[in-house]
Structure 1
Amino acid sequence: MKWTNRDQAVWEEIENYIQSIRSNDFKDTYIQWVDQAISFIPKHLSDIFFEKLDSWLFHLHSFIQASQIQEDARIRILTSARVFDESIQTIADMRKLSIDQLSFIADQHSARHRLYALAQGGMTGTGKSILLSTDFLVLMMLNLRSVQITAISYGYDVKTPLELMISLKVFHAATLPKRLRREAWEGIVIDLQEDPYFYQGPENLLSYQWLEEPFKQILKTYFITMFKSKPSIIPIAIGAGLNYQFSRKVTDFADKFYKYRHLLDKG
């Protein structure tokens, strides 16, 4: 199918975004330092640890997919799509819509998830033990779900094995430090080019670079507990602000990636 002028404009926006997440010499040096530090950990121990993390992520994905709230979201997305085209019956039919129509639907849900993250971070900032202990898990669930919803909004059904793996890899890439996101993006694109129907890439997802985000969350929890003994709006602002920024980073990356994929498939 031939691209429209609007498709070309969106493609150029995405190319600019990809350029903005590239690494630089200083960050490459930093990565080498981290690699050297990690090399001192016995490989069999690190392999076991990341296998457990991967398993946890797969189970989290399955839990979200099996939830009624996710099924309700699928129905709402299809209902929104029928406003533009009454013939749409399945998730794959979503690809009949224009890039702006798909973006409109995806943006509605992304904005909602960013607000959820803002509210959740604010509640964590109150310093209640149950909220502090579950903050990271809830934040991961919210943002894994936001990636799944973005995929569905662009016509990719994450209930299929291929789309399941792609959505998990997009989530992983989106939660990496900025200096590593471009390489992760390119890795997903290569996997899709090798076989656009069956995933044949590596099934391991998480790596030690991903641990930077949990470490930031630990620091956030530490700063919040510093203010726990006295009434203050500062920890609420910290919790809300950091969770919102994290969610915005994830939703922006996922939206750009699925726009890119939609245009690739269309072209």
Structure 2
Amino acid sequence: MYKITATIVTYRNRESILLKTINSFLDTNLDVRLYVVDNSPTNHLKDIKVDSRLEYIFMNSNNGFGAGHNVILRHPEKMGKYHLVLNPDVSFEPGTLEKLYDYMEANSDVGNVMPRIIYPNGELQYLCKLLPTPMDWIGRMFIPFKSIKKRINDKFEMRFADYESEMNVPYLSGCFMFLRKSVIEEVGVFDEGIFMYGEDTDLNRRIYQRYRTMYYPKVIITHAFEKGSHKSLRLFWIHVKAAIYYLNKWGWFFDKERRGINKKTKLAYTSLK
């Protein structure tokens, strides 16, 4: 069995950026394998196989982010002891995978771990979040007042917490999900009813119900994050539909579990600084 496997789902991504991500993952002495699942309309990346540990899979269709990763997640025999859901615009230094592997080996009750994530300029990305309410996901998209949006974001993105400390977080970003294979076999894969945006919320919530899902700031990665749904009308509506699907599944205003989890998280991690 591989120590770590990973999937990168691509859709018309720039090859130069993708190669940086690929090389970050493969620069390790651990036994790893990387699957590049290409949702693009053409197989222009077919020659990107820069290493024998890389397998290129051309889907010839775009069924969404979660569905792309499920190509591997649905087949435990293809996964390592740990499996990394990896965005095509993420990079990190050598030794990162080793540190995360050691962390998971030492914490058997952790199902998913996410490191500290920064922008290329070094600025922190606030990607530890509470479980979303309708206002968090839909209301703020239509609110024109920046001050109100800021109040919502400050709470939703756990800006009340100390991002220098480890935290058990109910919603960790899907750009870098370091998952325990046995946990995925237990709780299931991405819900393909969500095309994109929110599938990570749903999966992390299912893991959180049974295991810890940890933010681990002693490891740092870089994410060249762009909020595509804020720039494209098509992606904006994909985001809205994902939010509606998620809230239909878990509850809009009467989600007792969400209220309990969010209250517990705020009490546990509100910083006194």
> Quick check: TM above 0.5?
no
TM-score (normalised: structure 1): 0.29
Higher share of residues assigned helix: 1
TM-score (normalised: structure 2): 0.28
**Between Structure 1 and Structure 2, whose CA radius of gyration is higher?**
1
Higher share of residues assigned strand: 2
Bigger RCO (CA 8 Å, 6+ sep): 1
